Amino acid sequence: MIYEEHNRPGEAILPMAQDAALPFYGDVGLTDDPEDAGRFQAVFKAAILGSNFGHPQAAWETIQGLAPQMLSRDRSMVLLKWIHDAYTYHPANPNMYWASILLRYANAPGGWPDVGQTIEEQRQFDEFAAFFLREWDRDGFNARLEAEQSKPPTDWDRQVHMRYGLVPLDDDGKDSLPFLYRIYQGAALRRAIRDFNFPARPGFPHAKMRAAAQLAADEAWMPPGVPLGRITDVV
């Protein structure tokens, strides 16, 4: 479930509108089709221009009117749904916190907390965590992102950087594509859940893995009274 009061779909538009982001459209779960990618990017750019290089919320409001005009009904629906679901900050989509939990427990010296899981159940926890981390490939994605950002910007990207005060590879919070990493993280989690094929694993210990994950989720801010769902509840 996505909590609309915390969702910020417009945050995805600015990074995706940049030419440097085009090679990553498949990675973030939008499209692997070059023609669709070109059409979608044209809509992203039109939304930035239509909002007069304004606030992300203004870009989101603008793109909701532009997409049906610039794309077929089917492609427009695909794009708008993707934008809506792409904001993976966990208060908006609490179950997206699974990505941080899996990373934490996979790298913690003590591993997962004890919630009564058997050795075999723990093996299955670890198997999925490792599967997700391979799909996520943080270091590989970051290296590709940095290589793309190190290239001379196009005229469009230079204009975006200037209007929004962005600096590629900046370490002080003004990097031009920081949110692309967060979108990729969410897309990698969704891919891992799909490709791990949980329906073919009816004995997977979902309840115990969720119980262990909830211990970590309790340390993070969540919408009041919202527990972490099972991994298969990720939107």
Per residue in 136-161, pLDDT (tens digit) is 999 999 999 999 989 999 999 999 99
Whether pLDDT at 174 is above 80: no
Query: Considering the entire predicted model, what is its pTM?
Result: 0.91
Q: Which residues of 39-71 are buried (b: 16+ CB within 10 A; e: fewer)?
A: bbbebbbbbbebbeebebebbbbbbeebbbebb
pLDDT at residue 123, as a whole number = 96
Q: Is the pLDDT of residue 201 over 90?
A: yes
User: Helix-strand-coil percent breakdown of the chain, rounded to 5?
Assistant: 65, 0, 35
Other C-beta atoms closer than 10 Å to the C-beta of 19 total 17
